[in-house]
Amino acid sequence: MRAGPFISTILLCTLLSCDTGLYITKSKHLNEGNAIDKIVSIEPVVSLLNKSNKEVGTRKVASFLKEQEFTASIANACKRNGIELLLYDLDEGNVDAAYFNQLCRLKYEINRQLGLQVENTELLENETRNLKTLLGFSAPVHYFDHGVEIQMDYLDLAEHYGTKYFSVQSLFTVKKNVFFINAAVDVVHSEFVYTEVRRVVGTPSRKNLVPVLYDSFAILKTELR
């Protein structure tokens, strides 16, 4: 089967599902026949905030329960896209010394860089505006030769976990809207290879999350034309 129509369908689904809010950047290298087969996901996070932008009481429990669903959905989406997923989560209790020594620091590094990038897009602040005028480009996927750099301290993680790709997924609310973030880094080349921010339409139920996550990992894995 040719990939063209398949990808078009995915993109259409993506656009339909996320209404206006979608922002993706992907490394050209990753898109040109160097697909990801194995990826490490570091502690997926769900943070549902209340009206005063705080995560308190029952919200915390709701986030926690949602996080378990979210984690299961990520595993499922990866499986369906043919990506081997190594998921390390403190809540799952499957962590080791390397997690506390390096993975946590890498997660912090990714989130820090991601925060800088996402803030610059103003996507989260003005999500109701038209994407085209907001971001200044028409295609939903943006390609680059060299991604945003991270520190070069995580080289040995590639050997330890058997893959150079490490990712962070999170689901959070801004002004009552739920956003999904998926970011992947290449620790050997010390750079971001994939960044995706999208608005999830409706409540972040499992039913709504499944297509979003499938989409996201499909774009990450598939060679787009």
Binding residues for another protein, rule: CB under 8 A, are 43, 56-57, 60-61, 64, 90-91, 93, 95-97, 99-105, 107-108
Nearer Cβ to another protein (13/95): 95
Least CB distance to another protein at residue 157 (A): 13
Tokens 């990992």 found at: 217
CB of 123 to another protein, least distance (A): 25
Tokens of 16: 């339909």
Q: Which residues pair with 183 in a beta bridge?
A: 168, 195
Residue 127 beta carbon to another protein: minimum distance, rounded to whole angstroms: 27
Q: Among residues 102 and 173, whose Cβ is nearest to another protein?
A: 102
DSSP letters along 107-128, please?
A: HHHHHHHHHHHHHHHTTTTSTT
Task: Please identify, using beta-carbon distances, which residue of 100 and 137 lies nearer to another protein.
Answer: 100
Nearer Cβ to another protein (1/97): 97
- Please name the residue that has the structure tokens 């570091």: 42
Angstrom distance (rounded) from CA 66 to CA 122: 26
Residues 6+ apart with CB under 8 A from 173: 47, 48, 49, 179
Smallest gap from Cβ 88 to another protein, in A, equals 11
